[in-house]
Amino acid sequence: MAGEAVKLTKAALTLDDGARFEGQAVGPLTEAAGEVIFITAMSGYQEVVTDPSYHGQIVVFTTAHIGNYGTNAAVDQAQEVQAAGAIFHELWLPPVDHWLSERDLPAYMAAHGLVSLTGVDTRALTIHLREKGSRNGYIGPWEADPGPALAKARAIPSMSGLDLASSVSCQSVYFRQGAPSREGRPNFQVAVIDLGVKKSILDQLCAHNLDLTIWPGQTPAERILAEKPQGLFIPNGPGDPAPCDYAIKTAQAFLGRVPVFGICLGHQIMALASGARTYKLPFGHHGLNHPVVDSLTGRVWITSQNHGFAVDPQSLPPGLKPSLWNINDQTLEGLEWTDIPAFSVQFHPEASPGPHDSLGLFERFYQMLRAHHA
């Protein structure tokens, strides 16, 4: 579907260390602020900007051309765009000729209020972020004097210590019905605490015969336990896990009672609930191509990742052991609880960046529930 002519206005990204990158603002909106991170995914741009894990961040796409296959509402991961901004080397301008496209990317961003820059030297910007670490940044109209923009960039709160999960959580409880049970495969009732859960993760849980009750993240554990769920799922989400004390308390209340599975932020929350520590990565892991190795079998998975914090393997208490490692930088990617039915992974197994092998983790959770409630 072809869009209208796109308005481009000279603008710039200013980082809090004084670096400035020129480009052109796409559409009428020209101001955005947040932590600037880069992502190496070559596709899935719509899924990225609607993923609540990117809430409060300006996403730099390292792939040269973005937008060439348009957009389709069916792949949105949340009802609204979550990223604070998007930066491209070259944005594909209308028309778009793809049979699934409902709207070109510039029109989609304008409709959802996403501030973006095109024409940016994203290679130089990515190298800067890789060498200096993720920085806070401000997108604004081009000004000869960078001082005001720099002041705005430096006024942005640090991601460390920032609870963003409560900002993207649902406001009221809702339900998702799992796939119909069949002979020998009953459905189980699972509670999900919403810290920014993606639609595709809920879809996979439902596909594996799990009936879901999705609770606002700050719901007291006692309220959820009163409904007698048979398992707990703790999902992805944005920000620093450490200040999410409400989610940590919920995880503590459930661990050892019923099977618990955590993904991404949920992995970190479960670790904190068990006495481990987390820390901020220099520039995080954002992309569809991160190799993860199983320390027991030696098997390697190519995974989709989006996180800026990690669990410190040196802080693991007894009863908690590492199971998966990132091959690129040896950070911890998976945990096993040795004496209770619980496990977690740092990556997003539902995203299927080509390979589908990590989808088996949802089946593992189902079988854990089945064994526990036999």
Which pLDDT belongs to residue 351? Answer: 72
Q: How confident is the model over 275-301, as pLDDT tens digits?
A: 999 999 999 999 988 999 999 899 999
Q: Is the Cβ–Cβ distance between 370 and 259 less than 8 Å?
A: no
244 given a catalytic annotation: no
Class of residue 175 by CB neighbours under 10 A (exposed 0-12, middle 13-18, buried 19+) = exposed
The 3-state DSSP class for residue 51 equals coil
Reply yes or no: is the peptide bond before residue 235 cis, omega within 30 of 0.
Answer: no
CA distance 302 to 347: 10
Q: How confident is the model over 169-219, as pLDDT tens digits?
A: 999 999 999 999 988 899 999 999 999 999 999 999 999 999 999 999 999
* pLDDT(1) > 50: no
Architecture of domain 165-372: 3-Layer(aba) Sandwich (3.40)
Q: Name the residue with higher pLDDT: 374 or 267.
A: 267
What integer best gives the mean pLDDT of the chain?
94
Options 35, 47, 333, 350, the catalytic residue? 350
Confidence of residue 2 (pLDDT cuts 50, 70, 90): very low
Options 55, 285, 286, 348, the catalytic residue? 348
CA angle 195/270/85 to nearest 5° reads 35
With a pLDDT cut of 90, the percent of the chain lying above it is 89
For the chain, which residues make up each domain, given as ranges?
Answer: 8-154, 165-372
Which pLDDT belongs to residue 95? Answer: 83
Using the 8-state DSSP alphabet, how is residue 53 labeled? G
Confidence of residue 27 (pLDDT cuts 50, 70, 90): confident
CA distance 310 to 313: 9
CA angle 349/350/351 to nearest 5° reads 95
For residue 162, which of 265, 78, 232, 255 has the smallest C-alpha distance? 265
* pLDDT(50) > 90: yes
* pLDDT(109) > 50: yes
Q: Is the Cβ–Cβ distance between 187 and 178 less than 8 Å?
A: yes
Q: Name the residue with higher pLDDT: 38 or 2.
A: 38
Confidence of residue 260 (pLDDT cuts 50, 70, 90): very high
* Beta bridge partners of residue 137, listed in sequence order: 15, 34
User: How many other CB atoms sit within 10 Å of the CB of residue 269?
Assistant: 31
Options 206, 264, 267, 307, the catalytic residue? 264
Which pLDDT belongs to residue 356? Answer: 75
348 given a catalytic annotation: yes
Q: How confident is the model over 114-163, as pLDDT tens digits?
A: 999 999 999 999 999 999 999 999 999 999 999 999 999 999 999 999 99
For residue 60, which of 98, 100, 19 has the smallest C-alpha distance? 19
CA distances (Å), origin 332, targets 183, 245, 345: 38, 22, 9
C-alpha torsion angle, residues 51, 131, 147, 155 (rounded to 10): 50
Q: Is the Cβ–Cβ distance between 178 and 203 less than 8 Å?
A: no
Which pLDDT belongs to residue 94? Answer: 83
Task: Provide mean pLDDT across the span 232-243.
Answer: 98
CA distances (Å), origin 138, targets 34, 44, 147, 252, 260: 7, 24, 12, 38, 39
Architecture of domain 8-154: 3-Layer(bba) Sandwich (3.50)
**Which residue type, as a one-letter code, is found at position 339?**
D
